[in-house]
């Protein structure tokens, strides 16, 4: 099988990796973590989220983290925003690319953002309209695309329809997300075939969690479909606060090693990612002990 010559990695460790950690991580350590990831030559780093500190305390210092990082030319530094208020905070922090996050199931949408799917799209249209008018890029996450912790199976056609709706809002890319790590390799074609009938492959990314140890296999199955962007988290950190049983994301280092072994270029330094992973894990261990 002929593999693609290059794959792009979106590093979500500083946001998705840390948002559910119970240990308090200092702003200085978050800044250092992002800077170490920048040194790995990652093309995209999701730095933080401009969400309510009441719901996600770990992201309360988003402005301070963005103010402290060293922005490397060639790396895009992004943030999650739930609404127009979050977008305004991101703009004030000189963020030029943001992400919105819809869900594939009604129950998850209500538990995650306290809105129905349709209501969330109304909110996100406002966000996208304002962001695009300001010259910002917007990415769209689509959660629970392979299964919901509350409703179970999600129809592939539902995922396809919602992916298309996100594109219609003006997002440049939809990250089809296995929020609880339930996807098996045989699930990937089922979902991608439906999605790619509606949305071009170059506008689709995949976001796998490794709850059942299938994340790398899922990547391998997705590559022949033309998907060229995958999310990953340094050290495999992360999980969703609203999805019980989701211990972590696909590890960035593991993804790089897989792709290297297949002869696929990423442009990312495995040694530097490993150093960043070791750093943040040492800080988490220290915080947990104090």
For residue 279, CA distances in Å to 44, 282, 289 come to: 19, 5, 16
Please tell me what DSSP assigns to residue 79: E
When computed from its CA atoms, the radius of gyration of the chain, rounded to whole angstroms, is 17
For residue 117, how many other CB atoms are within 10 A of its CB?
Answer: 18
- State whether residue 249 is helix, strand or coil: strand
Catalytic one of 240, 243, 246, 250 = 240
In 222-245, which positions are buried (b, 16+ CB within 10 angstroms) versus exposed (e)?
bbebebbbbbbbbbbbbbbebbee
148 is catalytic: no
> How many Å apart are CA 176 and CA 205, to the nearest integer?
6
Spatial CA neighbour of 37 closest among 279, 284, 250, 206: 279
Point out the residues that are catalytic.
240
């Amino acid at each position: 099988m002929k593999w693609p010559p290059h794959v792009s990695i979106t590093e979500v460790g500083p946001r998705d990796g840390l948002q559910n950690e119970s240990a308090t991580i200092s702003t200085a350590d978050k800044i250092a973590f992002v800077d170490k990831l920048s040194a790995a030559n990652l093309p995209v780093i999701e730095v933080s989220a401009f969400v309510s500190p009441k719901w996600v305390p770990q992201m309360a210092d988003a402005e301070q983290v963005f103010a402290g990082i060293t922005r490397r030319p060639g790396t895009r530094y992004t943030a999650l925003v739930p609404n127009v208020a979050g977008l305004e905070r991101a703009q004030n922090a000189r963020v030029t690319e943001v992400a919105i996050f819809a869900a594939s199931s009604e129950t998850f949408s209500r538990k995650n953002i306290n809105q129905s799917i349709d209501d969330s799209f109304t909110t996100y249209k406002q966000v996208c309209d304002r962001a695009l008018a300001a010259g910002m890029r917007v990415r769209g996450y689509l959660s629970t695309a392979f299964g919901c912790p509350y409703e179970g199976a999600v129809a592939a056609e539902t995922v396809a329809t919602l992916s298309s709706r996100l594109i219609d809002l003006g997002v440049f890319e939809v990250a089809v997300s296995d929020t609880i790590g339930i996807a098996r390799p045989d699930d990937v074609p089922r979902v991608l075939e439906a999605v790619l009938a509606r949305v071009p492959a170059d506008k689709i990314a995949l976001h796998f969690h490794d709850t059942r140890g299938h994340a790398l296999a899922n990547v391998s199955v997705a590559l022949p479909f033309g998907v060229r962007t995958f999310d990953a988290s340094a050290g495999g950190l992360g999980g969703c606060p609203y999805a019980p049983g989701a211990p972590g994301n696909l590890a960035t280092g593991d993804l790089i090693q897989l792709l290297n072994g297949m002869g696929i270029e990423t442009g990312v330094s495995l040694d530097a990612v490993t150093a960043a992973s070791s750093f943040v894990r040492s800080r988490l261990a220290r915080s947990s002990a104090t």
